[in-house]
Amino acid sequence: MPNNFLFGAASASYQVEGAWNEDGKGLSNWDVFSKIPGKTFEDTNGDVAVDHYHRYKEDIALMAEMGLESYRFSISWPRVFPNGTGEVNEKGLEFYNNLIDECLKHNIVPFVTLYHWDLPQALEEKGGWKNPETVDAFVRFADTCFQSFGDRVRHWITFNEAVIFCSLGYLTGAHPPGIEGDVKGYFQTTHHVFVAHARAVELFKQNGYVGEIGITHVFNPAFSIDDAEENKFAEMHANAYSTHWFYDPILKGEYPAYVVKGLEEQGLLPDMTDEELDLLKRTASMNDFIGLNYYSPQRVMKNDSALVMAGGRENSTGRPGNPSFDGVYKTVMMDDKVYTKWAWEISPEAFLDGMHMLKDRYGDVKIYITENGLGDVDPIVDGEIVDDARIEYIEGHIRAVKHAVEQGVNVAGYYAWSAIDLLSWLNGYKKQYGFIYVDHANGLARKKKKSFYWYKDIIATRAEN
Ligand code: BGP
């Protein structure tokens, strides 16, 4: 891999930090939602998580030992603004200042996500992402972060995976605010997120901050199960709703006409002002990159039933739900494909094809793979964590990135999910992703997994072989 290609790993505030009520932090929607019985796996929550808030020095030192070039983490909005807006919590800023400095001390490039799902509860109670005031509050939060950390942070992601928090929040109810079946609400909240993103990007550029800014979307490229015309139509439909709806407003500055028409016909088009649409248009060329979180593709076919929201992999993994309209597509599992324990298809080939699909539609936009990894219950052999399946998974996907780069796709970095074992939103601590193991039975002690040494070698050799 080229020398300027960044090898990193990622995390998110609610999933690692803990310290949910310390040093002036306000409540997040997840602090509240996860305590409603039955909402999360075995009622787990992120109150303590893996205590990164107190152990970040030890964690960053381990990342440095692994040779990590960049660490993607998110800022907890309620730690900075306990009520979402209003007074800043200086202690919150102090934590992120320390975290950033610790990364830099070890030559690790901080890659900061502003919003990875932990909305201040005070804003959730006022309508969350349905309320345009949340957009204003986000822009202020973003500006505060640019001002406070912009002298050292050069890489900013505004939002992580709008499709997930909007669809699970408003369609399936699996994430806060726990609403089911509000299809218009789903589209409305995605629109507000795109507007919030565009306003933050414009402000970043207008104020002359140094560095790059973009957004991260989950990327589930859709492929028809066969060549039947009706299934090919389903594939087109699935890509339009799950990919183009999310990438077009950011990179082309307008929504895909096909989806707009479909939503209009069903009375589901979000409320949008001319001013917002202009904003999307004029900021499209200002995005420096797009982040892709890729785990698996969708295999799709015609769906004869009416509106289907559950979309997917027929188990309860908490994945979305891509909405299907007029019953034209559904996502299915196939006998000849390989799946993880949580029924997510493993396909580096689809990843490579997907990157080409994006290049075909969006040209040479810079891409960071901001998440990719294997959720597993790691085998422990004689006290060692022998996560060969993770090594195989990541190796296959890094190889796909290498091919993509060789074939002219502009990929600038790869971030494994995750640096350290952490809370899985809906699967608790059982589903592991990290290179660093966290021993919950032993005071959250850290331990290096087999993959830790393997990734260290990949980075050191720049994935030569
Ligand atoms: C992405 C999220 C991450 C992480 C990952 C794995 O959608 O951005 O925060 O959770 O998926 O998901 P899970 O923990 O459900 O296996």
pLDDT in tens, 400-445: 999 999 999 999 999 999 999 999 998 899 999 999 999 999 999 9
Atom of ligand 1 nearest to the CA of 344: 16
Domain-embedded: residue 55: yes
Question: Which residues pair with residue 290 across a beta bridge?
Answer: 215, 367
- Is pTM beyond 0.90? Reply is yes
Domain-embedded: residue 1: no
Annotate 283-312 with DSSP letters as a single string: HGGG--EEEEE-S--EEEE---SS-B---S
Q: How far, in Å, from the CA of 425 to the mean position of ligand 1?
A: 7
Domain-embedded: residue 94: yes
pLDDT in tens, 71-102: 999 999 999 999 999 999 999 999 999 999 99
Nearest alpha carbon to residue 154 among 3, 368, 362, 459: 368
* Per-residue confidence (pLDDT) for residue 350, from 0 to 100: 98
Q: How far, in Å, from the CA of 70 to the mean position of ligand 1?
A: 19
The boundaries of the domain holding residue 270 are 6-220+238-287+343-460
276 flagged as catalytic: no
Atom of ligand 1 nearest to the CA of 425: 14
Consecutive H or E run containing 454: helix 450-460
Nearest alpha carbon to residue 349 among 221, 236, 164: 221
314 flagged as catalytic: no
pLDDT under 70 in the chain at which residues? 304-328
**List 161, 235, 276, 345, catalytic entry:** 161
- CATH number, domain with residue 274: 3.20.20.80
Q: For residues 395 and 57, what is the distance between their CA atoms, to the nearest angstrom?
A: 28
Rounded to 5°, angle at Cα 313 from 307 and 317 = 110
Domain-embedded: residue 314: no
Domain-embedded: residue 338: no
* Per-residue confidence (pLDDT) for residue 266, from 0 to 100: 82
* Per-residue confidence (pLDDT) for residue 316, from 0 to 100: 37
Ligand 1: residues whose CB is within 6 Å?
A: 12, 15, 160-161, 164, 218, 293, 318, 371, 375, 417, 424-427, 431
Q: For residues 292 and 371, what is the distance between their CA atoms, to the nearest angstrom?
A: 7
Residue 342 marked in a binding site = no
Consecutive H or E run containing 216: strand 212-218
* Per-residue confidence (pLDDT) for residue 297, from 0 to 100: 94
Domain-embedded: residue 299: no
State how far the alpha carbon of 317 is from the alpha carbons of 138, 200, 252, 428, in Å.
29, 32, 32, 11
Dihedral of the alpha carbons of 385, 386, 388, 389, in degrees to the nearest 10:
-50
* Per-residue confidence (pLDDT) for residue 262, from 0 to 100: 85
Residue 4 marked in a binding site = no
Residue 417 marked in a binding site = yes
Q: What's at 349, amino acid-wise?
A: E
Per the structure, the count of domains in the chain is: 1
Residue 160 marked in a binding site = yes
Q: For residues 459 and 453, what is the distance between their CA atoms, to the nearest angstrom?
A: 10
Q: How far, in Å, from the CA of 424 to the mean position of ligand 1?
A: 6
* Per-residue confidence (pLDDT) for residue 302, from 0 to 100: 85
Domain-embedded: residue 315: no
Q: For residues 387 and 381, what is the distance between their CA atoms, to the nearest angstrom?
A: 10
Q: For residues 458 and 465, what is the distance between their CA atoms, to the nearest angstrom?
A: 9
Domain-embedded: residue 397: yes
